[in-house]
Structure 1
């Protein structure tokens, strides 16, 4: 079994995924707009280039997303995307990239379980937790 987060955006999925690709060191594997698909006829003309499905792979894992149809977007609440990295430097890089233009909920700092842990909501409204666990 595999469980992957699926995020919805308010028309800025492509922009967000390009940031995530860089911030997380991943690779965008799919960025499919409505245009050119059977779904094209079900969206307004100004929505045809919006993303119907995107997939970003990072370290053997995937995050998927799309632009929510017009009038159907709701801000995420009650969940976060959790990222675990190997080094404190990686935690700082990811956290700072996600925090740019967003809001820090909990600054990145050492905790009793982690060399570095922080929480941030990025400029697209997606909540993230960045964690660098202690080594045994």
Structure 2
């Protein structure tokens, strides 16, 4: 079984947006990490204090679903283009199922991040399929326990 969630990218306003969503839906953030909390990103150079405070990842549970986001700000990411700033985030039950999904979705499309182990403890990949839809596949290795 695969769980599907929505992932949003913001041009530096993720924290403001998610505080707004939290005021509407209630609850607490499942996770909130900033760029300064992650490892140095290849080719990005040192972070300014302002960029370090931007959101690397935030999640807000809404019912059985999760709304997630990040600040996609240069030089960490390409600039956000409103209208293409939404991804479908898949959360498979196994690493093998994640690989199958990622390979199938990326066939004929474009891979932004290969499906591989990541610093947050997941195996993750990001691609745009041949129809221009953005996908993220994130298998949390801690699920296996």
Under a length normalisation based on structure 2, what TM-score does the superposition of the two structures give? 0.48
- Alignment counterpart, residue 56 of structure 2, candidates 52, 72, 78: 52
Match of 1:8 in 2: 9
Pair 63,78 (structure 1): closer, same or farther in 2 beyond 3 Å: closer
Instruction: Report runs of 4+ in structure 1 exceeding 6 Å deviation.
Output: none
Write the mapping of 1:11-50 to structure 2, written as runs, cut at 5 A. 11-39=12-40, 42=44, 44-45=47-48, 46-50=50-54
| Unaligned segments of structure 2, at least 5 residues | 87-145
- Alignment counterpart, residue 80 of structure 2, candidates 73, 80, 101: 73
Q: 1:42-91 CA distances to partner (integer Å, 9 max, x unpaired)? A: 36413111011111001121011000022521112597xxxxxxxxxxxx
Aligned length: 79
Pair 22,2 (structure 1): closer, same or farther in 2 beyond 3 Å: same
> Which structure has the larger Rg?
1
Give the Cα–Cα distance (whole angstroms) in 2 for the partners of residues 13 and 39 of structure 1. Answer: 20
Give the Cα–Cα distance (whole angstroms) in 1 for the partners of residues 85 and 38 of structure 2. Answer: 33
Instruction: Report whether the alignment pairs 1:61 with 2:65.
Output: yes
Check conservation: 1:20, 1:26, Cα contact below 8 A. no
Give the Cα–Cα distance (whole angstroms) in 1 for the partners of residues 85 and 30 of structure 2. Answer: 28
Give the Cα–Cα distance (whole angstroms) in 2 for the partners of residues 21 and 60 of structure 1. Answer: 15
Shift of 1:25: 2.1
Pair 30,78 (structure 1): closer, same or farther in 2 beyond 3 Å: closer
Give the Cα–Cα distance (whole angstroms) in 1 for the partners of residues 81 and 17 of structure 2. Answer: 16
Give the Cα–Cα distance (whole angstroms) in 2 for the partners of residues 52 and 69 of structure 1. Answer: 10
Check conservation: 1:14, 1:31, Cα contact below 8 A. no
Under a length normalisation based on structure 1, what TM-score does the superposition of the two structures give? 0.51
